[in-house]
Amino acid sequence: MSSIPAAADVLDSSVEVLPLPDVAERLRQPITRVHQALRDHHLIALRRKGVLMVPAAFLDESEGVLVKGLSGTITVLNDSGFTPDEMLRWLFTEDETLPGTPIDALRGDRGREVKRRAQALAF
């Protein structure tokens, strides 16, 4: 069993996911840094067909970094007792008041609002 935490494949099959070596390449980091980000709950992986994958939406391709605010949001959700499955579902569930999904809002520079909503879920 892997020491890297992973969610079940709770996302729609249309959500693009990347294997960890591709994530490391796009972030221009060694794979061990990606593994550490997963263990430190700064990133979430899921198992699709037995392979650890990360949603492509978590990466800011233009900058070669994780989407701004993602790690902090994951930390807030983790500290609130959310499981990786629940975190992924929440990040990819439509919310008409944002509008869109929380991950879309993070990608659209509305991280403060997403983090505020994540904090409110703890109560």
| Spatial separation of the C-alpha atoms in residues 123 and 106, rounded to whole Å | 22
From the list 23, 15, 3, the residue with the least C-alpha distance to 104 is 15
From the list 48, 50, 56, 103, the residue with the least C-alpha distance to 77 is 103
Of 28-37, 39-48, 66-75, 114-123, the poorest mean pLDDT is in 114-123
Dump pLDDT digits (tens) for 59-112.
998 888 999 999 999 999 999 999 999 999 999 999 988 889 999 999 998 989
**What tokens were used for 18?**
């990347």
Residue 99: what residue type?
P
Tell whether the model's pLDDT for residue 42 goes beyond 80: yes
| Spatial separation of the C-alpha atoms in residues 78 and 73, rounded to whole Å | 9
